[in-house]
Amino acid sequence: MMQLTGAEIVVECLKEQGVDTVFGYPGGTILNVYDALYMHREEITHILTSHEQGAAHAADGYARATGKVGVCLATSGPGATNLVTGIATAYMDSIPVVAITCNVNLPLLGKDSFQEVDIAGVTMPITKHSYIVKDISKLADTIRRAFSIAREKRPGPVLVDITKDVTAGVYEYEKQAPGECESGCKYTDEDIKRAVSLIQEAKKPFIYVGGGAVISGAYKEVRALAGLMDAPVCDTLMGKGVMDGHDERYTGMIGMHGTKTSNLGVSECDLLVALGARFSDRVVGNAAMFASNAKILQIDIDAAEINKNIRTDASVVGDLKEILTLINKELPQMEHKQWNEHIKELKEKFPLNYDESGLSCPYIMEQIDKVTDGKAVIVTDVGQHQMWAAQYFKYSEPRSFLSSGGLGTMGYGLGAVIGAKMGRPERVCINIAGDGCLRMNMNELATAARYQIPIIEVVINNHVLGMVRQWQTLFYGKRYSQTVLNDGVDFCMVAKGLGCEAIRVTRKEEVAQAITRAIELKKPVLIECVIPEDDKVFPMVPAGAPISEVFDATDLEKEA
């Protein structure tokens, strides 16, 4: 047993949990922790981001890419509040992050002291748990519990706020190994039997895969289930890579910008098996008309998600990998030849397509797929480019598509791709951004340059807020209120000014060469791709409409 300062206890607890990388920004109240980190800089790498929000997103990207807990640090007041959007992003997508902040000395709490904010109170609705540590004797156990809560059951972010005098105080410390996480399994044998029975009764089954399948590490079990059920499979934005994008059973994404095959197939099926998916409004459209011909079987680790958005006919609550292992053992090999032929016809009749005459984001994504042999980790910001990245790159494994799904955070991608590259240095890590998103986070290019982190930032520059403009075109009479960004900003000059390499692409034949060059440089590179302002993401389902009313550019031309 050793006598250590509170700050040293924080660092020792991080080492206990296997933390090798943290992202953050120092300040007055957290100085003791940074001093302790300095003494352990050979064991824990600290990445100084340009803004605390970048640190939160980097911790999130690290967690998504590796499956480990991401860690970010910030000082009190504005430092802590700058983490809030990143914490909320992680919360909506069930990403394990521990945010450590420090606050003013205990006697100054509640007195509107300089840079004092009740960050534990602020983040209470957007964390699994938030702590404030005022007693050094509780510090180590609180940090250990924070990591356990972040990882166990349905993962998510946890905040630990520590008063500065606790970090300065001295207390005994004894090393502990991390404990086992609770699985959160609540199912019974009857639940498994009911699930197997429903699957065996179905004539037209469809599997719908969400982010829980990625978190659980259940991709092999999902693929085995699809084979045993002889069923087509669609996914959500968060479920990318669970099914191999090249698999003939895979029908693409479901929902507002899902494929016609997925949306029509789910609308026609007689059993929908939801695996680690929460029936988000962007997936179901009009909830009253969603999969109205089907019985619903939902498997999820969080009992609160059962019957929350869509009524189920049966459910199994627990870890997806564990549950599917049991179901797969009980299921005989099934055959649904006629149903699969119908789905195949839909795929042939309604393929994803785009205008191939000029440079476009779908073409760029196909080239990235080709140049990287589909092995890149793709990160996105939020907007049209996010949907195109989900549609046109064929993800063959989980944790290769990282995106803000639930919160839809513009500015997420650049911090997240830095985190992903720190966690997966052997992979090519590429962020797909819109010009509107880059304006929110371009300061993090300086972070990548400072550490020479070889990330690739592909900017799809259409000089507008593309997704909002698409809605204005289709539903707001082309009144482009505050969505035109055609000004004097030169992203290549900005990138070079912040210490990165930059390449501008304006023609299709330049794309593959630019991507290849960026990979070869082994340093941070921005590739600006200039595309037309009115390119649109199709297919599309209008907000509130049933997903069976999915339409694309061809349908609009027919109406015109």
Q: Give the residue numbers marked as catalytic.
A: 52, 114-115, 164, 467
How many residues are given for the chain?
560
The Cα 53–Cα 65 span in angstroms is: 18
Query: If you write DSSP's letter for every residue of 442-509 in order, what string do you get?
Result: TTHHHHHHHHT---EEEEEE-SB-HHHHHHHHHHSTT--TT-B--SS--HHHHHHHTT-EEEEE-SGG
77 within 8 A of 113, measured Cβ to Cβ? no
270 within 8 A of 297, measured Cβ to Cβ? no
The Cα 231–Cα 236 span in angstroms is: 17
| Cα distances (angstroms) measured from residue 396 to each of 220, 239, 422 | 12, 11, 21
The Cα 525–Cα 534 span in angstroms is: 27
With CA atoms as reference, report the closest residue to 276 among 319, 220, 233, 314.
319
The Cα 143–Cα 140 span in angstroms is: 5
| Cα distances (angstroms) measured from residue 156 to each of 79, 143, 241, 377 | 21, 15, 21, 22
Structure tokens at 122: 């602020």
Residue type, 250: Y
Residues 6+ apart with CB under 8 A from 206: 231, 232, 233, 234, 265, 266, 269, 271, 272, 273, 294
CB atoms under 10 Å from CB of 502, counted, come to: 22
